Amino acid sequence: MCNHQPVSCNTVQPDGLTGAILALEGIEDAAVILHGPTGCRGHHCSLSERAFPRDIPDERLNFFEPFYFGQPRIPATGLDGDDFVFGAAEKLRKALATVAARGPALIAVINTPGAALIGEDLRRIAFDSGIAVPVAGIDMPALSRSMAEGYEQAIAAVLDTLDLNPACRRRPKTVTLLGLSIAHHHWAGSIEEIRRLLALSRIEVVCAPGAGSPVGAWKRIPEAACHVAVHAEYGEQLAWRLAERFGGTAVVPRCGAPFGFTATEEWLREVAEAAGADPAPALAAVKAVRRRVACVLSRITTLTGAPKGLTCSIQADASTALPLVRFLYEYLGILPVSVEIPDEAQANSHWAARLGLALTRMGCADAWQTPWQNARADFLLADGCRAVQGPIFGIPADCCIELVLPMSGCVDLTPKALLGAEGTALLVEKIVNAVSGML
Amino acid sequence: MKRIAVYGKGGIGKSTLSANISAALGLVGQRVLQVGCDPKQDSTRLLLGGRTMATALDYLRRTPPVGRRLDAVLHTGFAGVSCVEAGGPEPGVGCAGRGILSTFELLDQLGIEQLDHDFVLYDVLGDVVCGGFAVPLRNEYAQVVFIVTSGEFMSLYAANNILRGIRNYEGQGPRVGGILFNERGLENEAGRVERFAGAVKLPVVGRFPRSEYFSEAERLGKTVVEAFPESELAERFRRLAWLVAHDPSRFSACPLPAGELERVVHGICRERHAEVEAGAGSTGSGTQRDIASREHQPVTTGESIPGSPLPPHPAGVSLPIPPPRRYSSKGVRTQSVLFGCAFNGATHTVMQIRNGVTLVHGPRSCAYLSSQGVLSTARRMRDQYGNRWDAGGIPEVRCSHMDEHTVIFGGNSGLEEAVRRVASGRDDPLFVVTTCASGIIGDDARLVLKNASTGNGAPPMVLIPADGDITGDYMQGVLDAMRLVAEEWIDPGIEPEADAVNIVAEKNLAANTEENFEAVRSLLKSMGLRVNCRFIRRCTTNEIAGFNRGSLNLLAVDDAFGRVVRDFLENRHGATFASSPFPVGFQATSEWIEELARHFHKTNEAEEIIERHRAVYEASVAALRPALEGKRILIAVRNHCIDWVLETALDLGMVILKAGILESAWDDTFHSRYEGRVPFVFPYAREQRDEDMRAFDPDLTLINYPWRNMPEGFRFDHIPVCPDVGFLAGIASAGRWLRLMKLPAREGWRRDV
Ligand code: SF4
């Protein structure tokens, strides 16, 4: 039968449309309508449903259910060829009414590429439909640009729609967490972990836009003393924007996202300093986890020394890859052999420059942008799409660790984090468990 | 056939001019088709006695593909001129340009080509030369383009813009026939037009003074040619028609650069700007000499143009109505909500061709969504069935990365670059699939591929013009991709081989497709048969080329989709099919094997296989029967073939209270060998289910998926929408029913929902 079988890998990255959809799906009590064909919808529905399970469909895959078609999230207006010619305001009006009847605190309408082209006037249609719920609109999503850009665009659109009160009094030791999205694996656990650590230092998280916070929490954003970018690619611009609009301090920790113990400690220090709080209690909690992990590692490494000496490939945004590379290299002794930034457009960012420098200092400059499929590393830390393909390229499934858009199909009922001290412990746990399977 | 486009600013009189040219051509016996490409939809009014006609786009909206007829949008007007109006949206909504594209596609599908017109005249709004309105500029459409203008600045501005549009489509040589000057009676008007014409190196091939004849003819709902044939104005139209008919000279489009138009029109600068590309003169049937001699001496219809008279009018012009040629999915055929997009269906299909690479012409989101579909299915296959990853890996998908800029300024060059990048250094085929965005802006992907594939060593390139969901739903995309691939590759000269079968129309996104294929392959192997080609799944273009080696074709699923694929392969490629699809259940599998045995003369082998499985089946029934006999079941599913369930249930002595068959997005027929023996309800209403459960109080209800607020305290089991094939499909389910009978009807967690 088939003898022509070059091993190929699927490398297509999501773009700003996915970033925007997931950012808005990350508002707990909001509803997102896709104004466009159902073709853009299916995968986004399952991503949202898996990442942030909330609703149960009336009947799964009941294609006759208007706009939802048997999936619980992200109804679509279902534009077809005629609608592209004649417009589809009526369909959108009906969809708005159907969705509004479910009582969301906010509706966000996103034009799909086709609807964006025919210039559907989302705001006018929403206004004409007379629904009482505030409606945010994304007229032209960030097509073929990074997921992070789409996320920023969507969060900004909601901020504009909610018309938050800039005169609101800022409260000391309060922060917003920006740049976390439900696309990030274990986002809910990560938020809880950061909340926990900050709370130990008496810092309150008032809102994590796009990462589970309901509209009520968004309304508290002007109270925040600091606007902290967790994932810089997603949150840096927003932090500056919020600081400019509502006052307060924009904080973009130099260590990148709090992956690994050292970065977590640095991150906590920087945020605490900006918020005028004492980082010591949070650092003490990190230390406790450090001890727990070290105790396990000292036992496990006795026989072979592993995981020291193993290799890894990382495919992630630079502000994620930087702390991860440092952690794996410095803390566990795992050598980076491939470090890739998924979005070419970000390859020139200052984060990418710092990542390149870090690799050079480690003597691993060759790893920079080496395709992971060619590197044959022991571990792969990447988005779900690449992680599930790891086994095709000789990396066992256990050694493929998902960072964003998980695809493995695993269900997590107990909260897990990837960020902070507990997130670091989970990372070590995954690595050592995989190592024990390898030896 | 000669194809002419007349472009001009809205309201400039291009429709009046076009209708008069058509009328003049019609009067001398030419068979003319005039296509109005203006949402104003009045292009052909004067040819139709002042009547307006149903537009192609309205018709397209109202009529499902199967019922579409050319004569519903094609009307015969004065002098036998065939008239079509594209129509379009209300101002300010939708995309009129996309409407032009859809109209052209409709006319192509309905076989307008076969009507044998001598002339096709496209009357096109030229205010905005977006991708859609530029469709008549494409090579397969207008060979010559005339531009209508008055001396008003905005009209000349539009004319210049039209020239800029034409320049983008001049790959095959010059195509501008000249300027048609429709006077408004303004001061110095002729001077302005002549200066403009000189600057853009075009002749004024027709000049039409303001005249009462126009308004009077308009009032009568006629062309001047019809209403006032003796007038000098009518004579001008006849002269222009003569020019049009006699292969007019063609000139290159040399638009003026921004900023220069105003100076030229107002006579401030008469010199041609240096920006006009070197060598952009005429190279077509109008020679360099023509241009040189005409450059500043515009030709007008006031001149006497010599030549022979036009051929006489043929007696009677009757227009045959060709049948539609489309193989449609159920969604498209019934004009229901489109599930998924044709782009995804097409992409998932060509991604199955192992030696090919798929290039998505659209935004990255489309490529991402498509590849995720394949990847998630592969992941589910691995998790549910333990299928290892396909050894070839996950098929590669590339993308032309359309962004906001591209969708505004056109994606042809981006596609060209992407094709060059992907095709470079490879021999294997390239499949280009178009998305909503490229479909709406009207990129000419066909031309891009044609140009790219002319070079030496270029790999085969196939365009799948899915245009997102503009051409239809997911299944339509699958069908179109299959059809295009078949037409491109299947070699009709190959002879069937005695032991070879093809597998057709497997569901590429079902998790059990490989499992089912392996089950079928194993049965075939036991009969000494082999699979020649899986059409289209995990195959190569070589295997598709050798499709005809398969002497019998085995349809995977007999649903609306499978049947259309079968019809297409039977009609177009003479394929012979087994009478039933992949078999599910004992009797279906036995009959299927017997049919294969008859075809391939393998009766002994077939008997042996059936007997072997009969023993297992009967033993299983005997083991299950004591516990299940007499149990009462209610069925409420969207599967349109459930004989395998019924067979097992009846063999086990279970009582079927009712078999409700819900409507399905994938099929619209229902048949069963148990009709008369089982109380079927088709179509069965969703709303009826709760009532029936309460009324019948069944021991077990068979459903596909539970629904919100379904009655509590009833046992139910899931029937897969895509069941596993083979003798024991029903037995596997019955084994589960037995276990369910022993378990509490409602698990504890359900109380917490
Ligand atoms: S082709 Fe259209 S419907 Fe399909 S994924 Fe792309 S934008 Fe969505």
Task: Quote the pLDDT of residue B317.
Answer: 41
Closest by CA to B734, choosing from B593, B586, B521, B591, is: B586
The C-alpha atoms of residue A389 and residue A9 are separated, in whole angstroms, by: 7
Contact predicate B456/B489, CB 8 Å:
no
Q: Give the one of B344, B367, B375 whose C-beta lies nearest to A407's C-beta.
A: B375
The pLDDT confidence band at residue B200, using thresholds 50, 70 and 90, is: very high
B positions 145-164 inside 8 Å of A (CB) = none
Quick one: average pLDDT of B606-624? Answer: 96
Name which of A405, A380, A230 is nearest A315 in CA terms: A380
Nearest Cα neighbor of A310 from A278, A291, A288, A332 is A332
The pLDDT of residue B156: 94
**Where exactly are the structural domains of chain A?**
16-161, 174-282
Confidence at A439, pLDDT banded by 50, 70, 90: low
Set B38, B123, B127, B467: catalytic member: B127
Residue A277 CA to residue A268 CA, distance in Å, equals 10
User: Does the active-site annotation cover B222?
Assistant: no
Backbone angles phi, psi at B74, to 5 degrees: -115, 120
d(CA B105, CA B619): 59
| pLDDT classification of B78: cutoffs 50, 70, 90 | very high
Nearest to B389 among A37, A44, A391 (CB): A391
d(CA B515, CA B534): 14
Q: How confident is the model at residue B129 (pLDDT cuts 50, 70, 90)?
A: low
CB contact under 8 A, A14 and B380: no
Give pLDDT, residue B453.
87
Q: Could you give the domains of chain B?
A: 2-283 (3.40.50.300), 326-489 (3.40.50.1980), 493-582 (3.40.50.1980), 610-751 (3.40.50.1980)
**Per-residue model confidence as pLDDT tens digits over A170-186:** 999 999 999 999 999 99
**Scanning the structure block, which residue is given the tokens 């066992």?**
A396
pLDDT tens sequence across A64-96:
889 999 899 999 999 999 999 888 999 999 999
pLDDT band at B422 (very low <50, low <70, confident <90, very high): very high
Asked if B733 contacts B717 with a C-beta cutoff of 8 angstroms, the reply is yes
The residue that leads in pLDDT, B511 or B133, is B511
Tokens of B689: 């289910």
Taking contacts as CB-CB distances below 8 angstroms, the residues of chain B near A151 are none
Q: To the nearest whole number, what is the mean pLDDT of chain B?
A: 88
Burial of B604 (0-12, 13-18, 19+ CB in 10 A): exposed
Is A344 an interface residue toward B (CB < 8 Å)? no
How many percent of chain B have pLDDT more than 70? 91
Task: For chain A, give the secondary structure using H, E and C.
Answer: CCCCCCCECCCCCCCHHHHHHHHHHCCCCEEEEEECCHHHCHHHHHHHHHHCCCCCCCECCCCCCCCCCCCCCCCECCCCHHHHHHCCHHHHHHHHHHHHCCCCCEEEEEECHHHHHCCCCHHHHHHHHCCCCCEEEECCCCCCCCHHHHHHHHHHHHHHHHCCCCCCCCEEEEEEEECCCCCECCHHHHHHHHHHHHHHCCCEEEECCCCCCCHHHHCCHHHEEEEEECCHHHHHHHHHHHHHHHCCEEECCCCCCCCCHHHHHHHHHHHHHHHCCCCHHHHHHHHHHHHHHHHHHHHHHHHHCCCCCCEEEEECCHHHHHHHHHHHHHHHCCEEEEEECCCHHHHHCHHHHHHHHHHHHCCCHHHECCCHHHHCCCEEEECHHHHHHHHHHCCCHHHEEECECCCCCCCCCCCCCCCHHHHHHHHHHHHHHHHHHHC
pLDDT in tens, B574-600: 999 999 999 999 999 999 999 999 999
Q: Which residues contact B549 (CB under 8 A, 6 or more apart)?
A: B494, B495, B496, B497, B500, B532, B533
Given a contact cutoff of 8 angstroms between Cβ atoms, the answer to whether B135 and B128 are in contact is no
Given B402, B428, B469, which is nearest A144 (Cβ)? B402
Q: What is the pLDDT of residue B312?
A: 35
Residues in contact with B99: Cβ distance below 8 Å, sequence separation at least 6, in sequence order: A85, A86, B39, B57, B86, B87, B88, B89, B132
Domain A16-161 sits in CATH at 3.40.50.1980
Q: Which of A345-359, B42-56, B239-253, B308-322 has the lowest mean pLDDT?
A: B308-322
CA-based R_g, chain B, Å = 32
3-state secondary structure B402-432: CCHHHHHHCCHHHHHHHHHHHHCCCCCCEEE
pLDDT digits (tens, 9 = 90+) for B130-156: 777 788 887 678 889 999 999 999 999
Q: What percent of chain A has pLDDT over 70?
A: 98
Q: Which residue, among B11, B19, B58, B23, has the nearest Cα to B36 in the 3D structure?
A: B19
Flag whether residue A345 sits within 8 Å of chain B, measured between CB atoms. no
Q: Hey, which residues 42-61 in chain A have their CB within 8 Å of chain B?
A: 42-44, 46, 56-61
What local confidence, expressed as pLDDT, does residue A102 receive?
Answer: 94
Instruction: Give me the residues of B, 404-463, that contact A with CB < 8 A.
Output: 404, 406-407, 428, 435-437, 439-441
* Band of residue B389 on the pLDDT scale cut at 50, 70, 90: low
Gap between the Cα atoms of A4 and B392, Å rounded:
8
pLDDT-based confidence at B246, cuts 50/70/90? confident
Question: Does residue B511 sit at the A interface (CB-CB below 8 Å)?
Answer: no
Q: Residue B374 — φ and ψ, nearest 5°? A: -70, -40
pLDDT of B277 above 50? no
- So what's the pLDDT on residue B405? 81
Is B531 within 8 Å of chain A by CB?
yes
Q: What distance lies between CA B372 and its chain's CA centroid?
A: 23
The CATH classification number of A174-282 equals 3.40.50.1980
Alpha-carbon distance of A232 to A178, in angstroms, equals 8
Type of residue found at B135:
V
- Displacement of CA B215 from its chain's centroid (Å): 42
Q: Of the ranges A120-124, A313-317, B554-558, which one carries the lowest mean pLDDT score?
A: A120-124
Cβ proximity of B438 and B469 under 8 Å: no
- Is the predicted pLDDT of residue B273 greater than 50, yes or no? no
The pair of three-digit structure tokens given for residue B70, joined into one six-digit string: 């050319």
Q: Is B183 helix (H, G, I), strand (E, B) or coil?
A: coil
Residue B350 has pLDDT above 50, yes or no: yes
Average pLDDT over residues A256-279: 98
Return the structure tokens found at B155.
């009209």
Reading the block at residue B384, the tokens are 């549910």
User: In this complex, how many residue pairs, one in chain A and one in chain B, have their CB atoms less than 8 Å apart?
Assistant: 243
The percentage of chain A sitting over the pLDDT mark of 90, rounded to a whole number, equals: 79
The gap between the terminal CA atoms of chain A, to the nearest Å, is: 37
Instruction: Name the active-site residue from B40, B118, B450, B690.
Output: B40
Q: How many CB atoms lie within 10 A of CB B384?
A: 12
Q: What is the pLDDT of residue B271?
A: 41
CA–CA gap between residue B262 and residue A53 (Å, rounded): 61
| Residue A39 CA to ligand 1 centre (angstroms) | 5
Q: What is the mean pLDDT of chain A?
A: 93
CA B582 to centroid of ligand 1, rounded, Å: 32
**Nearest of A107, A115, A112, A153 to residue A132 by alpha carbon:** A107
d(C-alpha B342, C-alpha B478), whole Å: 7
CB contact under 8 A, A117 and B440: yes
Dist. CA A192–CA A49, nearest whole Å: 20
**Chain B contact set for A118 (CB, 8 A):** 93-95, 98, 440
Q: Specify whether the CB–CB gap between B97 and B442 falls below 8 A.
A: yes
Is residue B197 within 8 Å of B221, Cβ to Cβ? no
Mean pLDDT throughout A371-375? 92
Beta-carbon contacts of residue B239 (< 8 Å; ≥ 6 apart)? B206, B301, B305
Compute the distance between CA of residue B51 and CA of residue B44 in angstroms, rounded to an integer. Answer: 9
Cα–Cα dist B477/B481, whole Å: 6
Confidence of residue B395 (pLDDT cuts 50, 70, 90): confident
Interchain proximity B708–A59, CB inside 8 Å: yes
Residue A4: its pLDDT value, please? 40
Please state the ipTM of this predicted complex. 0.95
Q: Is B597 in the pocket of ligand 1 (CB under 6 A)?
A: no
Q: Are B18 and B67 in contact (CB under 8 A)?
A: no
A8 touches chain B (CB under 8 A): yes
B40 is catalytic: yes
* pLDDT (tens digit per residue) in B304-317: 333 334 333 333 44
Note the pTM of the prediction, 2 decimals. Answer: 0.86
Residue B108 has pLDDT above 60, yes or no: yes
